[in-house]
A and B are shown apart, each in its own frame.
Chain A
Amino acid sequence: MTTAPQTASRTRPGSDPRRARWRGRLGQTLVYLSLVVAPLVVLLPLAVVFLTSLKTSEEVTDRGALSLPRDWLNFSNYATAFSDGHMLTAFGNTAFILLFSITGTVIIGSMTAYAIDRFHFRARKLVMGLFLVATLVPGVTTQVATFQVVNSFGLFDTRWAPILLYMGTDIVSIYIFLQFVRGIPVSLDEAARLDGANSFTIYRKIIFPLLRPAVATVVIIKGITTYNDFYIPFLYMPSQELGTISTALFRFKGPFGAHWENISAGAVLVILPTLIAFLFLQRYIYNGFASGATK
């Protein structure tokens, strides 16, 4: 830190103030330009798909991609995407999987964190090592063999396959819970134990209620990643009626190959819940994904 001022004072006298000011102004203009261009780059592909979703089939083929739809309230493509894309079933399946896998992750993650942080038993280091090494194994690589395990349980093509996989392989949430459990003073546990509470009561009545912020973080991260996951439902649930949001949208494109107005409507239908969740939970989402990525 001390080096900054030194180098600064060394270079300062050499620069010509007028040229520096001109360069500064040009630099500032370029910076502002970049601040305008970046949001445009992010928004343009999405905006065009939204516009396309409101167009009729003729408008899409006859006019350019950037043209505006004639009727801004033309929601017929959404109806097509919703019914022919089996979106209702897909939302139902996704909700079912979300409910069970999130509940499971919260219970399993908090129990593991509690056991690891509050008990000193033999093999504790080994258990921690097992969880630590598992974070290094990328899920995509092991699916070849995981598939055989799931299949041998007779869970292939059921909604329980993704639920178990989401529950059993989520180590990031264990880390998040562990950070929070550490922050809860042990004196609370001891006080309760003196009052005769056993470990389960302590977990249920003290630790778990105090973990509420961690639960919120895990629910949000888990919810969004599960909602967006394509790989696992695609591999494990090939049946049409077991489509999730991702796989239903993926399959919808098949028969509607060139009908971009319908496909766009389907894509917007899938993006919309994410947008709403993001607008309401922004702060939690940033914190959650930041702590999830850095562990």
Chain B
Amino acid sequence: MTETTEVASVKTHRATPSLRRTARSGRSPGGHRTRGRLLRRATPWLFLLAPLVLLVTFTYVPVGNMIYYSFTDWDGISPDRNFTGADNYVQIFTRPELFRVFFVSFYYLAASVAQIAIALYFATVLSFNLRYRNLFKGLLFFPYLINGVAIGFVFLYFFQDGGTLDSVLSWFGSDTDHAWLGDPTSANTSLAGVSVWRFTGLNFVLFLGAIQSIPGELYEAAQLDGATRWQQFRHIIAPGIKPVLSLSIILAISGSLAVFEIPYIMTGGATGTSTFVIQTVKLAFQFNKTGLASAAAVVLLLIILLITWIQRRLVPDEKVDLV
């Protein structure tokens, strides 16, 4: 960020003369003061017109409609819909087959804990270790950039019978005939593992950036005083990355509730791997239960808003503020 702002300020100097020229040639003689004032008042709105229309149409109208649909039994097609009160919400929390998907989130939550721990470990190690840092950083980050469908297929082959994982395990002498995606526990663990593989790199790069922004003199001073690596981590690195860490934890929690791509592509939600979003999509677009699906989406939205609210209360972060 600092680099780019520097570039911007350098360009400022160069841009000024040419700008003066164009502005002067564009000047029109004669005054139009009253019209000018009206125009000036309207100017910000002219800039904001298109963005606000898009924002309202694709974010606020859907949220409003969704809340409205959630109290009806609408099927998404027919012109008539009946008001059913809180019936949809009651169904979500009382029908076990609808509620069960929440428990799948715990696999992904556990995975994100592992993911943050791994990322933190490598970020700390690599911050001391200069050699091969960029190569390592690139290797670890690249999975984050890969297309989700491609990742899904890569890992379908990985977990396949006689696929990559089985072959590697047979090298180490354990010939398993385990169907990795065959039963719910194993399938969910495998899918959560894919999510660790995919997202660790992002956390790693964020942590590494935060650690590198800590001034080097602090480590030198600590080393002179005989601090061990662990003490350096505990007292210098940990406080330095606290904001990024808390952000990562919140992203991990809301992310593990909104998992969709990997399980949908790899198993289609079969063998107990259906997540909350997969179930909502299926309810809405396969079984035409728009009302029930909307209620489910509202519940998820409320949970995520609640988590975000808790985060803002616990970690008052100046960066989050828009002003």
Contacts and interface: CB of A to CB of B under 8 A. Distances in A.
A245 B149 CA distance: 9
B75 to A, nearest CB: 12
B168 A66 contact: yes
Contact of B58 (A8, A109, A149, A282): A149
B16 A191 contact: yes
Interface string A59-71: 0000011100000
Q: Which 8 A/B pairs are nearest by Cβ-Cβ distance?
A: A168-B54, A196-B27, A5-B225, A8-B227, A115-B47, A4-B235, A145-B66, A119-B44
Nearest to A263: B153
A91 interface: no
B158 interface: yes
Interface of A is mostly: helix
Contacts of B305: 136
A112 interface: yes
Size bracket of the B interface: 35 or more
Contact of B322 (A3, A178, A192, A246): A178
Contact of A165 (B58, B154, B205): B58
Contacts of A34: 121-122, 125
B304 interface: yes
Interface string A180-213: 1001110010011001110101010110011111
B32 to A, nearest CB: 11
Interface stretch (B17-25, B93-101, B103-111): B17-25
Contacts of A183: 5, 8-9
A184 B260 CA distance: 40
B48 interface: yes
A270 B142 CA distance: 14
A42 B225 contact: no
Contacts of B146: 228, 271, 274
Contact of A196 (B12, B26, B58): B26
Secondary structure of the B contact surface, majority rule: helix
B86 interface: no
Given A65-B166, A196-B27, A264 B142 contact: no
Given A65-B157, A145-B65, A191-B16, A291 B1 contact: yes
Contacts of B300: 138, 141
A266 B157 CA distance: 13
Interface of A: 1, 3-5, 7-9, 11-12, 31, 34-35, 38-39, 41-46, 48-49, 52, 64-66, 108-109, 111-112, 114-116, 119, 121, 124, 127-128, 130-132, 134, 136-138, 140-149, 164-165, 167-169, 174-175, 178-180, 183-185, 188, 191-192, 195-197, 199, 201, 203, 205-206, 209-214, 217, 224, 227-228, 230-231, 235, 245-247, 249-250, 253, 260, 263-264, 266-267, 270-271, 274-275, 277-278, 282, 285-287, 289-291, 293-295
A38 B56 CA distance: 45
B164 A65 contact: yes
5 contacts: A4-B232, A38-B136, A115-B48, A210-B8, A294-B247
A210 B260 contact: no
B255 to A, nearest CB: 9
A275 B40 CA distance: 48
Interface in B211-227: 218, 221-222, 225-227
Contacts of A124: 44
A118 to B, nearest CB: 8
A111 B157 contact: no
B24 A196 contact: yes
A213 B7 CA distance: 8
